[in-house]
Structure 1
Amino acid sequence: MLITELAQHCNAIPKGGDATQAINAAADIMSAQALQVTVLSDSKYKKYLKDSKATACFIHESQADDEIPEGLVLLVCSDPEISFLNAVKLLHPEPAFKRSVSEHAVLADTTTLAYDVHVGPFVSIGQYSSVGDSSTIEAGVRIGNHVTIGKNCRIHPNVVIYDHSVIGNNVIIHAGAIIGADGFGYKFRDNQHIKVPHVGHVEIADHVEIGANTCIDRGALGATRIGMGSKIDNLVQLGHNNVVGRNVIICGQSGISGSCTIGDGAILAGSAGVADHVNIGSRAVVMARSGISADVEPGAQVFGSPAKDRKVAWRELAALSKLPELLQKFKSLESRVKHLEE
């Protein structure tokens, strides 16, 4: 694609260099070569631009100064990161494949497939389930009974979606994810664990992405809900009856116990652990490897286990690092006091 065409598609204005050159790939600023486009997303990376071999670079107007290499075409735009992401999609499109329903798929006689649905080999779809327009069900997926999948979804290989799950439009579920398994609920009676029946379901709203090998349990009686636009990383465990708001980020290896509420825009960093019946407020941030056992206020940033305000937790960690030195001083003072007493 010519630089001028790329600029037009990505809301950028070419500046300097030869904008009639062709671009064939996108690359990061440290490895970009000739005929590739890169991006300056942060001023701390500007040092790499000086010796860059890239042919073009998305850049903000405030960064376009005299330090730019001669011959480099600047693609000046208001949001270089988003413009670059659009360029990546244009230059590296997903491989096209023939959409069809595999003869090796097993579909119940009451299954409904809408327009332009792709069903890969060894897929199994149960009774009274439906798949919306232009959705892709890849190889080895198991879809239970009474499942609804919306339009333009992509279900990657070996996903399992249990009965009565509801999947919205434009949802991506990556390989190996399990949607709607029983929650981990038991009552201890007569020296044995009695299983709590789980007869609820899972509801996933539009534009949600769920990572590989993530598990989302069904509700015990009602629904486990994931709000619109939320993104869940790989290897996340989301327990029964949780309600996740809109545009929530849950990073890898996090575990959320049952009956929790996570407010809109909240972020749970990697390996966060949340006890049951906890409310995490809107736009709160739970930092990596934190343990949450009590409610988190909206907008709060917490860290540690048990988690507390991040500034307090960091001060405590800083003080803890000085403990060996303080103990040595204490022993020295103790010895001096003892000597004076004698």
Structure 2
Amino acid sequence: MKLFECQNCHQPLYFENTLCERCGYRLGYLPDARTLSAIDPTSDDGVWSALATTEPLYKFCANAELDACNWMLPADSAETHCAACRHNRTIPDLSDTANLTLWRKLELAKHHLFYTLTNLNLPLETRTENPEEGLAFDFLTDTVAPDGTVTPVLTGHANGLITINIAEADDAERERRRSDMGEPYRTLLGHFRHEIGHYVWDRLVRDDEAVLERFRALFGDEREDYGEALQRHYANGAPPDWQANYVSSYATAHPWEDFAETWAHYLHIVDTLETARAFGLRIRPRITEGADLESEIDFNPHKARDIDDLIEPWLPLTYAVNSLNRSMGQPDLYPFILSPSVIEKLGFMNRMMRDL
């Protein structure tokens, strides 16, 4: 993600900030301009002018009133919700304050996802625009029957509809699930990036014969029975040599899951490299063979021509940040191995983006 600053006082800002702590200016994210802007109120109630652009006036997304969104849209738009929030189909009961807290966390991760998706210019139809396969989100809670039986909500994707169990926004619960399932990495943003991968497959791979042929050559034949494949995976686990060809053990379950897992990592890489570029990071290890790990991130990763342009700086950067995490007694920030086969699959993702 890029860095932002207040246009009034030049205070550095985070993507989710709603107020400049230095000068007190209200802030709003302008998705078309792809920037966080200080804003001035106008004489019209609820209408704002942005210091970052000379474009027409803006209004806040309706979810700003719930402290769940800081995105804006043109003041004359017929829409009431921003480009990210209008994809919501179901949200939890917000009269429950615990649900409200968890939903806000979900929205923060979802907006971070949409920041990258819009930068990559991915097609993002709503359910109104495409009732059958438009992108939509259901944020649901487990249900408890009168006898105490719990029916859990399973996070997943089906024909553009992404379901997220809001319990994933509870840090303790998510860590428990991460430990129980033996996952080295489990985050809210990671869930969104994985599930959107299934939507991307439907939109960019499924109906394009040339792309589908390349997909099958790398990931396998998705016509394999999905239910049986998952049962086999949960019964037997991943093959012992899975790291030679897959980015995660779960990716071995089925070609669809391999695609979604690899897509999630593609977004991890692109977004983190953009942040590193914004900070002007340069890796120069002070060891005898440090030259092999030298790197400077000085390009736009969203426009990378070739996967090597991303992987070349990614490996030194992750070695550096993993070392920093270990210095703080924390697990590796990026605990994954990118084999040549996985890099080739990541190259498939990058080529798709260049062909849009």
* Same fold at TM > 0.5: no
Q: If each structure's strand is expressed as a fraction of its own residues, which one has the higher value?
A: 1
Q: Shorter-chain-normalised TM-score: which range?
A: under 0.3
Q: TM-score normalized by structure 2? A: 0.25
The structure having more radius of gyration, on CA atoms, is 1
Higher relative contact order (CA 8 A, sep 6+): 2
Which structure dedicates a bigger proportion of its chain to helix?
A: 2
